[in-house]
Amino acid sequence: MPLFDTHRALLDGALNALATRGHWTPFPESPSPKVYGETGQADGQAAVNALLGKDYPLLQPGERGRLATERSPYGVALDVRYPDCDVQALVAAAQAAEPAWQALGAQGRVGVLLEALVRIHRRSHEIAHAVMLTTGQGPMMAFQAGGPHAQDRALEAIAYAWKAMADVPGEALWDKPQGKNPPLVMQKHYEVVGRGVALVVGCATFPTWNTYPGLFAALATGNPVIVKPHPNAVLPAAISVSILRDVLAEQGLDPNTVTLALSPRAEDTQALATHSAVASIDFTGSNQFGRWLIDHARQARVYAEMAGVNTVIIESTDQYAAMLRNLAFALSLFSGQMCTTTQNILVPRGGIATDEGPKSFEQVGADLAAAVTELASNPRVATSVLGALGSPDTLARMQQASGQGRLVLASRALPHPEFANAQIHTPVIVALEQADSAIYSQECFGPVSYLVATDSGAASLQVAEATLREHGALTLGVYSTDRGYIDAAVALGRRTRVALSINLTQGVFVNQSASFSDYHATGGNPAANASYTNLAFVADRFVIVQRREHVAAPAAA
């Protein structure tokens, strides 16, 4: 049975979920032994540990040597050595693989990708452990975000790609009447053709969740892909690429349809990004390199998710304690190293109305600090939620931010019960004034939050709008008991093209994004020029090439 037919139910489920936008996933987020096997977690960790200190089993064209670039935030010695391949050799191999991948057609490609995705899912524990060790994510987040949630995003991209391609008929008979003369009749054929070699540039914090959408969207639409992982988070990408290559080879296709590019040399990455054969680039990371790609890789469509300044506005609340707990968790999750984590919390200088009575600006800050401190009071819970700092630069930013205003909550280093050398630090909260926009209008990536005293609730909306228009954001939150104020925040989100979360007090947090339901980024503000996932994310990755020729008019009945 063709792979497309084998996995048709999975594809149809995804298409239905995209149309209804309700909760749905074929990949359970709980690492239950009943779902993933009694020995699944141990087997996954053993598979990763068996790779440490060795040459990674990947053979590609143009290998010049081996590189080990990863440094674990948990202090684990990784030393996995990956192939360092010549850029031109990888591009040439991708171009050579393209015709057969193209000839497979939309159904064939989608079937292969669904098979690969199912196999990736089976190795969720292995990939999760690789994500944890390389990024610093806590074990539960590494499993969920690095495994099932990333797989959801991959399936979402495949489904949207199929939806876009299925809209193109394979052929048509064009029969134009000519009055008394014989009709003009042509047979026309339409073919979905990828734009060319795709480059997918990964990030250090979410090497599967942020990589899979572009990877699978590009492949589904007929493009060979070169995956360029972040030097500190290679292993999860390498495992994913290997699984894809295995499935391709089993189907008699060129495994070089997907390759891994790793080089510590910036000039190699720049040469790859600006290569004339590279037709699309997916990028997650800093504004600096994202802007460089947009400015210099003129030959390619660039899908970029960059830095923004995420904001929460507190105007009033009727669930004060629950609001604080929700915010404390959101600020602590993976030590704020998420592109969706709130940085600026805007509170009127005169305080807010709550179900516990009026709360001053200072009291809100003290209570939020207490909620974060309480979350971190249980070391095992705290280390699981916080994870580890992925870069020494993050700790330096925390230290700098601590001296920029009134320190509401100082960071503390925490020991990890399993990893003695792990870099675990609790969040920093700093109080600023509305006039301090030079500080809070810039992104400070990591567990740093600015509690900004604004002149009023109306001023909070104005401050948020000014920041969002200039720097963009992926998330905006508002707490208010005033429906008119909420409506004003809704209008603000619409004007600045930022997704809005309203009065989150339960088990959903502003920095979480649910596949098949939430659109991650809008593509409409400076933080990102694309969205995970909509038709625009896939439809421009291919063109339609047609051919036509005259044929005899159909015989009269």
Residue 17 has pLDDT above 70, yes or no: yes
The DSSP code for 553 is P
Q: How far apart are CA 389 and CA 232, in angstroms?
A: 12
How many degrees, rounded to 5, is the angle at CA 192 between CA 24 and CA 5?
45
pLDDT score, position 307: 85
Q: Which amino acid is at 472?
A: G
pTM above 0.85, yes or no: yes
Give residue 124's pLDDT band: very low, low, confident or very high (50, 70, 90): very high
Question: What confidence tens digit (pLDDT) does each residue in 324-348 have?
Answer: 999 999 999 999 999 999 999 999 9
Residue 265's pLDDT is 82
Start-end of H helices in 79-175: 87-103, 105-122, 124-135, 139-146, 148-166
Q: Tell me if the bond preceding 533 is cis, omega within 30° of 0.
A: yes
Q: What's the mean pLDDT in 272-288?
A: 95
Question: What does the pLDDT look like over 449-478, one tens digit per residue?
Answer: 999 999 999 999 999 999 999 999 999 999
Q: Which has more confidence, 254 or 418?
A: 254
Spatial separation of the C-alpha atoms in residues 204 and 388, rounded to whole Å: 13
Read off the pLDDT of each residue in 537-550 and give the average, rounded to a whole number.
Answer: 97
What is the mean pLDDT of the segment spanning 550-555? 82
Give the chain's mean pLDDT: 96
What confidence category does residue 557 fall into, taking pLDDT thresholds of 50, 70 and 90? low
pLDDT at 397 over 90: yes
Contact 241, 105 (CB under 8 A): no
Mean pLDDT (whole number) for 371-382:
90
Give Cα 501 distance to the centre of its chain. 19
CA dihedral 101, 106, 227, 519 (to 10 degrees): 170
Q: How many contiguous H segments (helices) and E segments (strands) does the chain have? A: 21, 19
Q: How many CB atoms neighbour CB 358 within 10 A?
A: 11
